[in-house]
Structure formats: C-alpha cells, structure tokens
C-alpha cells in the first residue's frame, strides 16, 4: 500500500498518508545505503552509550561538564532513533509509506529533540563560560541543583512549542501528490506539498526557528566571545591552550549542528531543493551524533583515561 486519499470539500483531497521518497532515485544503491546507515546508527548507539557509561561510573568525571555531556549523548541516541530506524526499514523493504499520524509523530519528536539539542548546546556553552570566566564562583553557580534544573529545562522546554508547530504544519490543506521528497517527515518538504500560497503559514515556522535556533546560537556565540577574550588574557601560552582545549570540542559540535540547521530552516523557500535539504539533513541526523563521542573522547584526556579503564574489563 502506497497511500490513501479521501475526497474533501471543494476541489481538494485529504491525504491519509505519505510516501517518503528518500533515496528512491538511487535504486542500485539501496543495499549499500542500508549497510552504511546501519553501521553509522550502530556506532552512534555504541559511542554515545559508552560516553553515558563512563560518566556514570568514573568518579573523576562527576562534574557539571560531564553531567551535561551524558545528557547530550542520551539526547543523540534519542535523536537518531526518531528517524534512522524508519530510513533503514524503507531501504530494506522498499515500502516507503508512512501514515499521517506516524508522519506527524516523527516530525514532532524530531523537532522537539532538535530544540532540546539547541538548549543543551547553549547550557554547555554557559557551563564553559562560567568555568573559564568566573572560575572561583563555578562551584557555587553550577551546583548540583542548578545543573539538574538546566538539564530538565532543556529536555522539556520544546515540548509545548513543537506540539503547536506540528499541529500548525499538519493543519495545512494537502492535495495532489503525497510524495515527500525526503527521507523523513520534516517541515520544508511538507510545506511544499501544501495547496495554495503558504507564505502566511510559514511565518510562525520562521518565528519558532528564530526563537529556538538563532537565539541559542547567538547566546553560544556571545559565550565564546567572552571565553576567548578571557583566555587571551591568561598569562601563559600553556594556560591558554589548556583553557581552550576544554571548550574546543563543544565548539566543533556547535558548528557541525547549527550550520546545517540554520541553512535548512532559515533560508528562503525559493532556495530550497530536495537534494540540498537531504544533504544538509544528513549532517545533523548522522554526522553530528556520530562525531560527538569521537570528538569528546579523542580531544579529552579524562575521557580517554576512563575508556582505557573500562574497555579491558569488557574484553
């Protein structure tokens, strides 16, 4: 079954399901893509899972920075699990259909977890800002209660907004084709399927994107301006290198995540194409969750030491 259509009032039809075209334009690479994406998904689960485990069992990592890193790794696992299993199923079975409810649920959780990731990256930048710019007050400012509040706030803040965002998108009149030129349910390709002029409908989408995308990005940018300014004032090159190394991993992840997200959601609709949307989506769906544990482990001596203590016990 590909889709169902039901006649509605007027000349429109009410779409009862969608077809995720995904990589259907590459028929000879379906098996290869399944293998690649399956390996990436496995590495994401294992890599981020190891980060969670070592931050739990290693006493040297019981600090706010690693508390947020463990939450961030948990988020990455949830984030990829919203989209990748469906992508793998589509590639394996070649059944690309998805129900209206399933599409709405996938988009909601994808957007909600995306907002959560924006907030966590902002909170992690704030943590580094306090640690480097106000080191004497760090234990008082980033106490256990404050860390838990920031973590819980990051997890739940996007829930009500994205309920409204999802409802808004799926209340648009869909007619004609129900084929989504993407590999998961996302806002830009769904808006393309809506009937008539959707300019006014896109305004709330852009407002939410600015509030929950650009504002966290600007807060992170401000934090790093202050951090770099403070680091450059340190008396020795060794001190400067050590201070910058504690936040460079986070900065790399920020660039990898926010760059494609801003391009995807904040560029004009006229500049959207299915090919470019897919390419940029691959970054924040696959690349960032995959590189997160690699970046934080290879660039962090404490994490490497904890991994060396853990892995021999498991072999």
- Give tens-digit pLDDT for 235-274: 777 777 777 777 778 888 888 888 877 777 766 665 556 6
Chain segment 117-152, per-residue pLDDT in tens: 999 999 999 999 999 899 889 999 999 999 999 999
- Average pLDDT of the chain is 83
Q: 236 is written with which tokens? A: 């020795």
Q: How far apart are CA 244 and CA 248, in angstroms?
A: 6
| CA of residue 31 relative to chain centroid, distance | 26
Q: Does 15-314 carry CATH code 3.40.50.2000? A: no
What percentage of the chain has pLDDT greater than the value 70?
88
pLDDT (mean) for 212-217 = 85
The confidence score (pLDDT) of residue 68 equals 93
Chain segment 46-60, per-residue pLDDT in tens: 999 988 988 888 877
Q: 230 is written with which tokens? A: 């403070």
pLDDT bin (cut points 50, 70, 90) of residue 21 is confident
Q: What is the 3-state secondary structure (H, E, C) of the chain?
A: CCCCEEECCCCCEEECEEEECCCCCCHHHHHHHHHHHHHHHHHHHHHHHHHHHHHHHCHHHCCHHHHHHHHHHHHHHHHHHHHHHHHHHHHHHCCCEEEHHHHHHHHHHHHHHHHHHHHHHHHHHHHHHHHHHCCCCHHHHCCHHHHHHHHHHHHHCHHHHHHHHHHHHHCCCECCCCEECCCCCCHHHHHHHECCCCHHHHHHHHHHHHHHHHHHHHHHHHHHHHHHHHHHCCCCHHHHHHHHHHHHHHHHHHHHHHHHHHHHHHCCHHHCCHHHHHHHHHHHHHHHHHHHHHHHHHCCHHHHHHHHHHHHHHC
Q: Where are the domains of the chain?
A: 15-314
- 70: pLDDT strictly greater than 50: yes
Chain segment 265-286, per-residue pLDDT in tens: 766 665 556 666 777 788 878 8
């Amino acid at each position: 079954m590909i889709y169902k259509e039901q006649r509605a009032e007027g000349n429109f039809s009410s779409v009862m399901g969608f077809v995720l075209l995904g990589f259907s334009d590459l028929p000879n690479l379906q098996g290869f893509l399944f293998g690649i994406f399956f390996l990436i998904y496995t590495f994401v689960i294992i890599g981020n899972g190891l980060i969670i485990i070592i931050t739990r069992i290693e006493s040297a990592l019981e600090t706010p920075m690693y508390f947020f890193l463990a939450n961030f790794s948990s988020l990455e696992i949830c984030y990829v699990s919203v989209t990748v299993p469906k992508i793998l199923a589509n590639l394996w079975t070649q059944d690309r259909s998805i129900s209206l409810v399933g599409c709405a649920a996938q988009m909601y959780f994808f957007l909600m977890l995306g907002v959560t990731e924006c907030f966590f990256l902002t909170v992690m930048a704030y943590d580094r800002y306090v640690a480097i710019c106000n080191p004497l007050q760090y234990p008082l400012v980033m106490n256990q209660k404050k860390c838990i509040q920031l973590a819980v706030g990051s997890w739940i803040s996007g829930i009500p907004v994205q309920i409204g965002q999802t409802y808004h998108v799926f209340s648009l009149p869909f007619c004609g084709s129900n084929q989504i030129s993407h590999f998961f349910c996302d806002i830009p390709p769904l808006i393309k399927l809506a009937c008539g002029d959707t300019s006014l409908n896109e305004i709330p989408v852009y407002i939410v994107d600015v509030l929950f995308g650009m504002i966290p990005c600007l807060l992170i940018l401000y934090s790093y301006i202050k951090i770099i300014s403070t680091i450059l004032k340190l008396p020795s090159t060794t001190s400067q290198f050590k201070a910058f190394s504690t936040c460079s991993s986070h900065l790399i992840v920020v660039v990898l995540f926010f760059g494609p997200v801003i391009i995807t959601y904040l560029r004009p609709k006229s500049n959207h194409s299915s090919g470019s949307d897919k390419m940029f989506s691959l970054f924040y769906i696959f690349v960032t969750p995959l590189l997160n544990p690699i970046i934080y482990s290879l660039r962090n001596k404490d994490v490497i030491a904890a991994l060396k203590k853990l892995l021999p016990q498991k072999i």
